[in-house]
Structure 1
Amino acid sequence: MLRAEPVRATRRIRTAPEWAILERELFAQQDRAWRVFADRYTEGDGRLVFRDRLGVGLDGRDGVDDFYEPFFNWPTLYLLGGSSDLLDASLRHWRGVTNQLTEMGMLVDGYERGYDWFHQGESMVLFYALCLALPEDTDLKQLAARFADLYLPAGPNYDAEHRVIQAPHNGAAGPRWGFIDGEKYFPWSLPLRPYGLPLDWIGVSSFDELVDDPGKARRYGQIMWDRMGRGDVLANLAATGLATNAYLYSGDPAYKDWVLEYVGAWQDRLAGREVIPDNAGLHGEVGEHLDGRWYGGHYGWAWPHGIESVGSSAIVGAVNATLLSGDRGYLDLARNPLDAVLKQAEYRSLADMGTLTKRWLRHLDPERPTLTIPQRHNDSGWFDYNVMPTQLPIALWHFSRDTGDAERIERLREGSDWDWNAVHDQRNKDEGGHEEPWYEFLARRNPNFPEKMLRSALAISTARLETIENDPIDPAVGPDALDIHHWQNINPVVTEALLQLTTGSPQVLYNGGLTHLHLRYFDADARRPGLPEAVAALVSDIDPDHTVVDLVNLGDEPRSLLVQAGSFNEHALQTVAVDANPPRPVHHQLLVDLPPQSEVRLTLTMSLHARTPANQSPWEL
């Protein structure tokens, strides 16, 4: 039964705000964009047009994520107010790809047979978004439980005695020891050459030595199997997303208990150390298979991406535990890797930076030094300097809204010799990259951000559509002509701008994060998630003590929408002030009536993380 406090907009629009017009234009463009992509690259049951097979490369395990990733933000667009049939399309594509991958032997009972959680997390973002959009779907609820059960104490992956997920590669078939199937040898391909070797202390000096010497590659592969192919790694913290998702559906305490137990194990491994370790052996001991080293685990501090994967995993695990328990002490686990690299910060120019620099090429002046942090650590110490991946500290601050987490971002801003207000037409596969100008907008230092960001999103989507329409590749011919990353690289759906502006939220952490929205909307007449047709929203302030959102109905029909605090109704609304009127109490959710051509400014107060989170429809509350 819906219990909502009603308010009504009384101001008529004199001049429609430019941001509102652009926002609705972006929604309209997206409605065309996903259809163009689907028509070009998918078949009737939703699978991607692909006639080859996966599992035939060097490692035989890679590629599952690449088939789900082209659709990762489609359900999110629906959640924000995308077309009604987009949800059915998103579900069809997820099911079609799942069937496609099952036929290739990559899945067992609909789930990844076994791979690392840096990539599994990328696969799961689509599933989590579908679950958020379909809280009443019994099939998804059952799948969420079945997937999570793979990691609970009775499942195949977790050793409850030692509190470890037993291997870096894991999944529906349990621990998948090592990194390849069959003969053990150095398994990675030439594109990974820039990251060097994962173990720098076993007598092999270069990547080329292993490429040129099969015998040495086999010996190296055996050592990797022994040292890195078994035991727990920090990247496995992303698996807590499965249990958190299952708990949000069911409220079953078994899922909550496991998340807190497993995150607690990594808290204990950090205790007494300056830096969170990235590995634990089969008996739960840090460095057990690495001669005592706290670094060297798969997708850890030493190889390949360092803070990019370590920081993301720590934040995902800590946020999940905090969401379910309300205990903010878990967030210290997420803060540690960020602060550890900031202690080693140096000013460097672009020429003196290491890997993963592509994200910053549009921002940096090659001749001017800026604040950088070491991304990685091995026997030589901290190395591979680059700009801090800003999405990590901003995601943490957005969840915590803690002063200390904001101060960390301010330090990065003050040390940056580039313009945080600039909005560049750039797009990575995770669709992030505009965290800094959004943060500046919220800090009231970038007033024109909404219009700039929306124009940028429109330009990016338009460019992707042109690429699709002029794409010479026949998607059916296989990998000789089609890179399996091709689809995700030209996905024309863009949601970062809409997340930031309509909900006051950053892009989801791509390697396994759940969608954490500050505000959510529901169309009260259509009884579905998202902004109603012709309605635009702009969140301009998310300070802990108040939230400011403008709502505009550009259409000629009355609209009603429900405002909810948090993705999972976890924040408690307290008061609302309508335009310049005094605040009044709100006892649950807020129902806003928008007459034709009307606008209203709401100033909300709320208590963050004050309610038990649940994935439920507001019509069931």
Structure 2
Amino acid sequence: MAMTEKERSIPVITAKCQAVPPQWAFMQRQLFDQLNKAAAQFVERYTRPDGTLIWRQDWPGMDGSDDPYEGFMNLALLYMLGGSSELHELSRKIWDGITWQWTEYGQIHREFDAYYDWMHHGEGYLYVYFLGLAGPATLKDRQRAARFAAMYMGEDEEAPNYDQERKLIRSPITGSRGPRFDLTAEDWSTHRGILDDYLAPYEDIPGVDFASGKCAWSNDEVYTNVIAMMNERMTRGDVPLNLNATGLVAHAFLHFAEEKYRQWVLDYLAVWEDRTKQNGGIIPDNVGLTGKIGEYNDGKWWGGYYGWRWPHGFLTIIEPLTNACMNAVLLSGDMGKLDLARKQLDENWLLRKEQDGKWLVPNKKFDAGWSDYRGADPKYAVYLWTMSMADEDLERVERIPKDHDWNEIIIPQLSGTDKKTRRNTKHYIGNTQPWFQFIRGQHPDYPQQILEANFKLVEQQLTKMRSEAGDPYNWSDQFSEDDFSSIHIWQEMCPVYMESLVQLTLGGPMHISHGGLQHARVRYFDASAKRPGLPESVAALVKDLAAASVTVELVNISLFDHRSVIIQAGTFGEHVFREASLCNDEGDVIETIPVHNKWLNVDLAPGMSVTLRISMDRYVNSPSYDMPWPDPEKKDLLAGRTL
């Protein structure tokens, strides 16, 4: 096939070192192989040939459409990294199957969740973002991206979620049917048993002892009071959790590069910056429909939906903030857009107190004051530092006392009978701190150790999946929480987890599980197959990150096959490579070539390896899902009838 002009313009550098591949390279390629096989078994076990899931005949309530997407979304991410070609079509078929099935259950409408919060939208629509990375983009991808974004930009009359004048998302509960101001008992029906063990949403619910830390949602009288009070105080107006919607709009920008998407993300972040200034530096968690802080909550800036008090506290404040700030930097190149997340980390740190020789920070704000003091979590500062490479963000990481071994690698533990003390695999992203240690030069054995741990995790998950409890025909139609949560079952059984591959090959931490885009320093394309991901037999290791450079080692473990891999500057091509220096084992430069491109083609003969130190300018390109080849299918969207 003849090369296009676009391909000819990509600089090429040739590997010149032949040596026995390092152990990590063999392990990495073996892990790809095991994950490909595990993905095939997982799909065969839990889906029908049409892509629908083997599950219940019905499912009530507003919860649930996010969970099947979460269970299968890693198929697309694995393909993007270099998984088998079969995963591409498979991941798309299953997305369609889930969307159809949950439409029949009554929760999805127009291919988008009818109504729920942006903690759960954020979890489920990671699948859509991963499909964007698993290009080339299809007409369906682009059509959905535009339609979904319109629901949150005030452009969709059927889904009036956004007040364009006040730059305000009108409810914590939104979706394709618009804001949901009045929740019903049926909406929360599947949560009642789970929420019995959670803190009460309010401190004045009749018949509930707030100090006990529990609220009996399964009690009909309490349940009725909770729903009524939520509708009175929580369901109207904006909350920080809605900042996760910036991911959906940024996703549309990555498809279309239209200014309106960029501006919406920047404007919506800016309005939360203003609200935070009005509130003295701490972000408020509830803003009424007129834009007034605490409008339906007796003027209190705390106590909103998924806010400072209920149910998770600081987690659901800092995560959407971090996501939105990183999205804003991606679209603007302005590192100052990280400041709102930075300042909330700083405010939280200022509220710390010493207890039993440890520094703890508050996670919740009650009417009586700050509460739920715990050790600070450094991972959010790690996300900011990975993007900024700024000393101030590094200091935010390193000011947190190391009260445990940050080099320790964590995988879920399947032993033990107490569900609360067992680590499960839902949202399993466990090793941001050890990766940070490695990329800072303080954990040299990390690549091999995290790959070993990933092998163990896949083995554990396959054992669980193949067990009697993992047989979908044995699952009960009841809502009981016997061994595994009925709605989280696919995450619990999924063996397709590859935190090690994301960290080592892309040079970044795994995305934030509640709606974060997969930001990283590089990604790869197979130049011969013209598809995303590392070519077969090629292993990659990002060994060093600096503000103006990245160091990558590429190894072709095959002694028979020639490979050609294209490295892209940034997950979304947001950076530009300046020069590429080929280094020997001692780190000495052998050859340097000019690049001045967001792509670099690396030629790897059989058995060859190369270490490249590539200088770069970061966040200077308009980010996109574009691949290194022209896309003849990138045409205008379909237009429907006007009735």
CA contact (8 A) 1:76 1:495 kept: no
**For the residues of structure 1 that align with 2:57 and 2:454, how far apart are their CA atoms?**
33
CA distance 1:147–1:478, shift in 2 (3 Å):
farther
What residue identity is the alignment partner of 1:423? I
Pairwise CA distance, 1:274 = 2.2
Partner of 1:26: 31
What residue identity is the alignment partner of 1:297? G
**For the residues of structure 1 that align with 2:527 and 2:66, how far apart are their CA atoms?**
35
**For the residues of structure 1 that align with 2:514 and 2:84, how far apart are their CA atoms?**
26
CA distance 1:245–1:198, shift in 2 (3 Å):
same
TM-score by length of 2: 0.89
**For the residues of structure 1 that align with 2:529 and 2:315, how far apart are their CA atoms?**
41
Partner of 1:479: 477
CA contact (8 A) 2:83 2:533 kept: yes
Pairwise CA distance, 1:488 = 0.5
CA distance 1:179–1:333, shift in 2 (3 Å):
farther
Q: 1:432 aligns with which of 429, 432, 455?
A: 429
Aligned positions of 1:34-433 closer than 5 A = 34-55=39-60, 60-155=61-156, 156-180=160-184, 188-201=191-204, 204-206=208-210, 211=217, 214-272=220-278, 273-348=280-355, 370-412=358-400, 415-426=401-412, 428-433=425-430
1:370-407 Cα deviation digits (max 9, x unpaired)? 44322211212221123334432222222222221111
**For the residues of structure 1 that align with 2:268 and 2:121, how far apart are their CA atoms?**
18
CA contact (8 A) 1:19 1:454 kept: yes
**For the residues of structure 2 that align with 1:27 and 1:457, how far apart are their CA atoms?**
11
**For the residues of structure 1 that align with 2:68 and 2:374, how far apart are their CA atoms?**
30
Partner of 1:591: 601
What residue identity is the alignment partner of 1:581? I
**For the residues of structure 2 that align with 1:209 and 1:575, how far apart are their CA atoms?**
60
1:449-487 Cα deviation digits (max 9, x unpaired)? 000000000000011111112234541454337712111
| Structure 1 SS opposite 2:320 | helix
Pairwise CA distance, 1:342 = 1.6
Runs of 5+ unmatched residues, structure 1: 350-368
Pairwise CA distance, 1:296 = 1.1
What residue identity is the alignment partner of 1:563? I
Aligned positions of 1:399-548 closer than 5 A = 399-412=387-400, 415-426=401-412, 428-476=425-473, 477-480=475-478, 483-548=486-551
**For the residues of structure 1 that align with 2:470 and 2:496, how far apart are their CA atoms?**
20
What residue identity is the alignment partner of 1:566? G
1:210-231 Cα deviation digits (max 9, x unpaired)? 5586445423422221101111
Partner of 1:558: 562
Pairwise CA distance, 1:347 = 4.7
| Structure 2 SS opposite 1:4 | coil
Runs of 5+ unmatched residues, structure 2: 1-5, 413-423, 584-588, 632-643
**For the residues of structure 1 that align with 2:204 and 2:10, how far apart are their CA atoms?**
62
Partner of 2:580: 576
Segment of structure 1 superposing worse, 149-158 or 383-392: 383-392
**For the residues of structure 2 that align with 1:153 and 1:213, how far apart are their CA atoms?**
39
Pairwise CA distance, 1:182 = 6.4
CA distance 1:619–1:473, shift in 2 (3 Å):
closer
CA contact (8 A) 2:184 2:227 kept: no
CA distance 1:62–1:274, shift in 2 (3 Å):
same
What residue identity is the alignment partner of 2:264? W
Partner of 1:366: none
Pairwise CA distance, 1:317 = 1.4
**For the residues of structure 2 that align with 1:296 and 1:375, how far apart are their CA atoms?**
13
CA contact (8 A) 2:197 2:215 kept: no
Pairwise CA distance, 1:307 = 1.6
CA distance 1:389–1:71, shift in 2 (3 Å):
farther
| Structure 1 SS opposite 2:255 | helix
| Structure 1 SS opposite 2:174 | coil
TM-score by length of 1: 0.92
CA contact (8 A) 2:163 2:170 kept: yes
| Structure 1 SS opposite 2:442 | coil
CA contact (8 A) 2:388 2:547 kept: no
**For the residues of structure 2 that align with 1:219 and 1:578, how far apart are their CA atoms?**
67
Pairwise CA distance, 1:287 = 1.0
Pairwise CA distance, 1:575 = 1.2
What residue identity is the alignment partner of 2:551? V
How many residue pairs were aligned?
Answer: 594
Segment of structure 1 superposing worse, 257-266 or 213-222: 213-222
**For the residues of structure 1 that align with 2:190 and 2:96, how far apart are their CA atoms?**
30
**For the residues of structure 1 that align with 2:143 and 2:451, how far apart are their CA atoms?**
38
Q: Percent identity?
A: 38
Segment of structure 1 superposing worse, 128-137 or 91-100: 128-137
Q: After the TM superposition, list the runs of 4 or more consecutive aligned residues in structure 1 that deviate by more than 6 angstroms.
A: none
1:324-350 Cα deviation digits (max 9, x unpaired)? 12232221111122222222234557x
Q: 1:549 aligns with which of 543, 549, 552?
A: 552
1:62-89 Cα deviation digits (max 9, x unpaired)? 1111111111222111111100111111
Pairwise CA distance, 1:194 = 4.1
What residue identity is the alignment partner of 1:36? Q
What residue identity is the alignment partner of 1:396? L
Partner of 1:606: 616
CA contact (8 A) 1:234 1:313 kept: yes
Pairwise CA distance, 1:620 = 2.6
CA distance 1:584–1:30, shift in 2 (3 Å):
same
Pairwise CA distance, 1:100 = 0.5
CA contact (8 A) 1:179 1:187 kept: no
| Structure 2 SS opposite 1:385 | strand
Pairwise CA distance, 1:276 = 1.1
CA distance 1:384–1:584, shift in 2 (3 Å):
same
| Structure 2 SS opposite 1:581 | strand
**For the residues of structure 2 that align with 1:329 and 1:472, how far apart are their CA atoms?**
49
Partner of 1:363: none
What residue identity is the alignment partner of 1:41? Y
**For the residues of structure 2 that align with 1:209 and 1:151, how far apart are their CA atoms?**
33
**For the residues of structure 2 that align with 1:216 and 1:74, how far apart are their CA atoms?**
42
What residue identity is the alignment partner of 1:425? I
| Structure 1 SS opposite 2:399 | helix
1:517-540 Cα deviation digits (max 9, x unpaired)? 211111101111111111101111
CA contact (8 A) 1:370 1:416 kept: no
What residue identity is the alignment partner of 1:92? K
Segment of structure 1 superposing worse, 577-586 or 446-455: 577-586
**For the residues of structure 1 that align with 2:235 and 2:364, how far apart are their CA atoms?**
20
| Structure 2 SS opposite 1:189 | helix
CA contact (8 A) 1:75 1:126 kept: yes
**For the residues of structure 2 that align with 1:437 and 1:215, how far apart are their CA atoms?**
47
